Structure 1
Amino acid sequence: MPPQERRRRAAAIQDAGAARDELRLALDEVGVRLPSLGLDSVSLAGDYLPPLVDLGRCNPGTARQLAAALREGGRSGELNARVREGNRRSTNRP
């Protein structure tokens, strides 16, 4: 892999790590802890996939806490709009 491509890949991995940390902090703010939250090792190992954040597994109680936090945040409609915008941006990436 050429040096420029290695730098681009390293930056993408750092960005995924920052996104994971941002999500962890946001979840902490609403009292939700996903114990397996991390980076997907398969996407980190190859060049085919972009680095992915792995939400991991959680127990039913944590899943319900997350669902409640999302419902509460979605009541204003702002959360739904932000998620749709994030999805739109994600699918338009090169």
Structure 2
Amino acid sequence: MPDSHLEELRSALEANGITLPSLGVDLPSFTALPARPLIALGNCNLATAEALAAALRRAVER
């Protein structure tokens, strides 16, 4: 289910101090046949984009 993936992503982002206000399931993709649900990351401000990039860089460095 996309909801469990969505919550896993939200939790991982929050663990890195990142909140994407528009994070959610893209409903049109969820209802398509065959269903290919997408998670919409949505819009974020520059500070959030920088924080996300920094978190991804830290993950690569591990």
1:64 & 1:49 partners in 2: Cα distance?
Answer: 33
Which of 1 and 2 has higher RCO (CA within 8 Å, sep 6+)?
Answer: 2
Report the structure number with the largest CA radius of gyration: 1
Compute the displacement of 1:72 (Å).
0.8
Kindly report which structure 2 residues correspond to 1:28-67, keeping only aligned pairs within 5 A, or say none.
28-67=14-53
1:33 & 1:20 partners in 2: Cα distance?
Answer: 13
Taking only aligned residues, the RMSD between alpha carbons, in angstroms, comes to 1.1
Q: In the alignment, which residue of structure 2 is the partner of 1:18?
A: 4
Say which of 54, 72, 89 aligns to 2:58. Answer: 72
Identify unmatched segments of 5+ residues in structure 2. Answer: none
Identity of aligned residues (%): 44
Larger strand fraction of residues: 2
- Residue 44 of structure 1 aligns to a residue whose secondary structure is helix
Q: Deviations over 1:21-65 (max 9, x none)?
A: 000000000100011000012102321451111111101110000
Identify unmatched segments of 5+ residues in structure 1. Answer: 1-14, 77-94
- Residue 63 of structure 1 aligns to a residue whose secondary structure is helix
Larger helix fraction of residues: 1
Using the size of structure 2 for normalisation, the TM-score is 0.90
- Runs of 4 or more, structure 1, over 4 Å off, are none
